Structure 1
Amino acid sequence: MTDTDTSPRSVTIERTGPGHFVATNARGGTVAFGGASDDGTEFTPVELLLAALGGCTAIDVDVATSRHAEPARFSVAVTGNKVNDEHGNHMTDLTVTFSVSFPDGEGDGDGGGADRARAILPRAVKSSHDRLCTVSRTVELGTPVTARVQEA
């Protein structure tokens, strides 16, 4: 993809009740979310951001490693600190931590698939972070966000 190529993405967000919303993508998929409340289990927008950061790289890593061996465990923890300072509310210290294991001797038939998957795991994580994951690349590059009101 060149620097002039674009591939538009979008979601629509509808209010379903006080502090509750549903985002719908162009394919019809939905995810409910809301504000932080003691009684709600819905994700907050910050939690959705954390899930997007981890999920984006998880997909890249899964594609790269699972072609060699099916993981015995594949877990991603995403953490950060929400702060309020002279820049307003924002997240700091974002960390995506992979915990992935492959069974011994499982793989592509010659017994080396799991070894290959283990060997490429660090490269796959780095490649996703440095080039492939649109979410983390966008956060790190600091892309401006425009907020506007459309006349009803």
Structure 2
Amino acid sequence: MTLEVQREGEHDFVGRNERGAEVRIGHKDSEGAFSPAELLQIAAAGCSAVTAEHLITRRVGDDSKFTVFLTADRREGASELDAVHVVFGVDVSSLDADQREALATAVDRAIDRLCTVSRTLKTGIPVTETFPTA
């Protein structure tokens, strides 16, 4: 799969995939755009949501809506995040305590096993850059 990020203007970029999806990228104060650090966090939350969707809808109901919230720890002035916290907001009031615990365990296990983004963040990978020199 080919992904690209193209500069559109000052602090204004568009990320694209081969399927025609686009996302605006800019500084953290850029109107209508995600910062790269926000996209990293969104990727973690999105991966968790996609991974857990079937488990949640099967147990809570096919029409269940849920939101995945996230925050990140970042030291003042640091150029990296220290932690990303993903929190599921889902109404589990129709489940008893044992069912809620079983669902939480199943969701955690699925994310730990299947979520590419979370697994990559936890293990860390090399990131390389290539810049033309001629």
TM range (shorter): 0.7 to 0.9
Q: Provide the C-alpha distance between the structure 2 equivalents of 1:92 and 1:48, rounded to a whole number of angstroms.
A: 15
- Match of residue 66, structure 2, among 64, 69, 74: 74
Farther off after superposition, 18-27 or 75-84: 75-84
**Aligned partner letter, 2:119:** R
How far apart are 1:73 and its partner, in Å?
Answer: 4.2
1:11 equivalent to 2:8? Answer no
Q: Provide the C-alpha distance between the structure 1 equivalents of 2:38 and 2:73, rounded to a whole number of angstroms.
A: 11
| Bigger share in strand | 1
Alignment check: 8 A CA contact 2:72 2:81 kept = yes
CA RMSD, 1 decimal: 2.6
Alignment check: 8 A CA contact 2:23 2:33 kept = no
Larger radius of gyration: 1
Q: When the two structures are superposed, what TM-score results if normalisation uses the length of structure 1?
A: 0.74
- Match of residue 81, structure 2, among 69, 81, 91: 91
Q: Provide the C-alpha distance between the structure 1 equivalents of 2:127 and 2:76, rounded to a whole number of angstroms.
A: 19
Cα distance change, pair 119–70 in 1 and its aligned pair in 2 (3 A): farther
| Bigger share in helix | 2
1:24-43 equivalences in 2 (<5 Å): 24-37=16-29, 40-43=31-34
- CA offset digits 1:29-53 (Å, max 9, x no partner): 111111122x613111111111000
Q: Provide the C-alpha distance between the structure 1 equivalents of 2:99 and 2:6, rounded to a whole number of angstroms.
A: 42
- Match of residue 101, structure 1, among 88, 91, 98: 91
How far apart are 1:142 and its partner, in Å?
Answer: 0.8
1:142 equivalent to 2:132? Answer no
Counterpart in 1 of 2:42?
Answer: 51
Q: Provide the C-alpha distance between the structure 1 equivalents of 2:92 and 2:5, rounded to a whole number of angstroms.
A: 39
1:62 match: secondary structure: helix
Counterpart in 1 of 2:113?
Answer: 131
Q: Percent identity?
A: 33
Q: Provide the C-alpha distance between the structure 2 equivalents of 1:145 and 1:53, rounded to a whole number of angstroms.
A: 17
2:82 match: secondary structure: strand
Q: When the two structures are superposed, what TM-score results if normalisation uses the length of structure 2?
A: 0.82
Count of residue correspondences: 132
Structure 1 unaligned spans of 5+: 1-8, 105-113
